[in-house]
Amino acid sequence: MNLYNLNRGFLTVCISLLFLNGFAQNPANHPDTLDTYLTKAFTDFELHGLSVMVIKDDKVVFDKNWGTAGYGEDVGSESLYNIASCTKAFTGAAMAKLVNDGLLHWDDLVIDYLPEFKLADPYITTHLTIEDLLVHRSGLGTFYGDLLWYETNRTDEDVIERLQYLPITNRFRDQYGYQNTMYMVAGEILKKVTGQTWEEYIQENLLDPLKMESTVTCGNKLEEGSNIAYPMIDDKEIGFSMKRHHAAASIFSSTADLSLWVRMLLNNGIIEEDTILPAHVIRDMMAPRTMKSVNGLRRMTGAQFSTYALGWNAWDHNGEKVVEHAGGMPGYISQVTLVPQENLGIIILTNTLTSAPTAMELYILDSYLKEESTDWASMFVGFKTRGEKAEKEALVRREESRVLDTEPSLEIEKYLGTYEDKMYGKAIISLKDKQLHLVFEPAKEMFYSDMEHWHFDTFKVHFADPFLPAGYMSFDFDSRRNIEGFKIDLKSNDFHFFNLDFKKLD
């Protein structure tokens, strides 16, 4: 999932900051310079674990690891991180291979393979193609639907059945809306066509031929004793997300294994004289398909175009086409970057929620593609400092807006019961040790919290998921002061609680 949108913080920063320039030294010729720079960035960003590998002309020219994997172990080139939305490139490759094999066509309709598929707009339902699924032009907004599968007990089929209740907010095939659920749909089509699950197909057709022997398709396949970089949030080791396979975000891999994937892609589908994918399939995967605005971070880098391909972003850096993707899940950020004309690949993995991989990627790109480089790490540390300050100020404003010495309108017992959002499912409010307690039934192992009275008929909740901030649930009433339902104000760029509207059932 590109669940962690790496551009989100950059869109609001002041882009008039002065670039800090210096002569760029090619890391292949000056690895010590890159080592020194990344070591400082590792410290400045307060990262836990970091693995960086650079491939040039089919050779690993830089391979370094810093910090801890958790439980007293150091990270290394074999350490496994959840690569999150970098998984999408594998799904894109799988679908491109099926097209090459004649089992699919890009303009095939989704409903021809999944007749039960339905979105809120009937026209989109009947016209959505397989290509549309993979290039984020379905009409759904960015990250819409992620709450349907994140930490829930639902099957892929259950999630797809509920997509019809998501609001359509974008213009079909005209506006970019980053999607994880559409990749799940693609995974189901793959299953229909091949008779294999997504994870079986990826394993057999990509991971095994590439000899990516440590890579696994989901967290449940991590074996005891595996070399795992454990996810960290607020200096604490947290549990894994992505325990089950997901065509958008569930692969766990290492820089060592990913170097095989990158070398194959840069070498027209061939590695160690073995052809994994035909060269024209590689070109198909990396061809721009959906236009994106050149703004925010891309404008700061001097990009002239920004597009989305099949599981990859494609844009330009100093006149060279860059094909890359970032990924993020709670406790993990990943970045895989290719510059095909330069035969250059960059892999950056960390078990810390941070913008550092993007800063490091841009610095390395500058080092190879420009005569002068920007000190992106220092700039991004400044963004981080200002962002943390803004978050603290927002919390202060929230506290100042609280109205003290108020009481709920009704007796506590009146708030108890079952509530339902037609898209998401049921939520239960009960009494637990004389305290109101909220549970989201589809994700009851993670989305539960005591309800602290905030003011009037608003209650503060803090779900067990350490990735999420506190939320504020407010109740609605009819004209007779009967509770109709509640909504949750929970600020998250990745999970859209604002789309939820729970109605009281009993």
- Please tell me the predicted confidence (pLDDT) of residue 120: 98
Say if residues 34 and 62 touch (Cβ distance below 8 Å). yes
- Please tell me the predicted confidence (pLDDT) of residue 70: 85
For residue 387, which amino acid is it? G
Q: If pLDDT is split at 50, 70 and 90, which confidence band does 24 have?
A: low
Inform me whether the pLDDT recorded for 2 exceeds 50.
no
CA distance 92 to 308: 12
CA distance 293 to 342: 25
CA distance 500 to 481: 22
More confident residue, 97 or 33: 97
CA angle 405, 408, 414 (to 5 degrees): 160
- Tallying the residues shown for the chain, one arrives at 506
Structure tokens at 216: 């696994």
CA distance 475 to 325: 40
Inform me whether the pLDDT recorded for 252 exceeds 60.
yes
Q: Where in the chain is the domain with CATH 2.40.128.600?
A: 412-504
Half-sphere exposure (Cβ direction) of 462: Cα atoms closer than 13 Å? 6
Q: What is the mean pLDDT of the chain?
A: 93
CB atoms within 10 A of CB 108: 16
CA distance 239 to 217: 17
- Please tell me the predicted confidence (pLDDT) of residue 25: 64
Nearest residue to 336 via CA among 276, 261, 251, 271 = 261
Say if residues 264 and 277 touch (Cβ distance below 8 Å). yes
CA dihedral of 69, 74, 76, 80, whole degrees rounded to 10: -20
What is the tens place of the pLDDT at every residue in 124-140? 999 999 999 999 999 99
CA distance 427 to 423: 12
- Please tell me the predicted confidence (pLDDT) of residue 29: 66
Q: Where in the chain is the domain with CATH 3.40.710.10?
A: 10-23+30-389
Q: If pLDDT is split at 50, 70 and 90, which confidence band does 224 have?
A: confident
Percent of the chain scoring above 70 in pLDDT = 94
CATH number (1.10.287.70, 2.40.128.600, 3.90.1300.10, 3.40.50.720) of 412-504 reads 2.40.128.600
Fold classified for 10-23+30-389: Beta-lactamase (3.40.710)
What is the tens place of the pLDDT at every residue in 349-360? 999 999 999 999
For range 114-121, the mean pLDDT: 98
More confident residue, 141 or 17: 141
- Helix 31-44 vs helix 376-401: crossing angle, to nearest 10: 10
Inform me whether the pLDDT recorded for 6 exceeds 80.
no
